[in-house]
Amino acid sequence: MYPGGTSASQSPPLIAVVNNQLYAADQSTNVVKKYDKASNTWNIVKPLPVRADSSNGWGLAFKGCGDRLLVIGGHRGPRGEVILLHSWCPEDGNGAGAATDWEVLSVKERAGVFVYNCAIMGC
């Protein structure tokens, strides 16, 4: 079963595959989970770098790109609204670190906070 339940208001599953491992962005708890094939369970890996629970996962992109996980999401701050592109390589750490372990690859200012659609053209 996909983590985070199946409420009618939730976004479609936010899943990605990196190095033959299945990952999910659990929008109800704001964490990344990894699927353990042997025990048929989802295990918490690390916090998401942006909030996913405020919109039930809508407005967030979660993709696999090569050996990295990408999270694209909005952030409201004192200087306005931005869209942030975060990257993390699961092979680089055991996941116990804080959200600061995510690398910010790009910032789009004055873009709102909602990602409407996302496609990866190449890695």
Per-residue buried b or exposed e for 20-37, using 16+ beta carbons within 10 Å of the residue's own CB? ebebbbbbeebbbbbbee
CB 47 within 8 A of CB 35: no
* Type of residue at 106: S
Distance CA(28)–CA(11), nearest Å, equals 11
Q: Name the average pLDDT for the chain.
A: 79
Q: Where are the domains of the chain?
A: 15-109
pTM: 0.78
C-alpha distances (whole Å) from 77 to each of 3, 38, 83, 86 are: 29, 42, 11, 17
Sort residue 112 into left (φ over 0), alpha (ψ -120 to 50) or beta.
left
Question: 28-70, pLDDT tens digit by residue?
Answer: 888 999 999 999 999 999 999 887 766 655 778 899 999 999 9
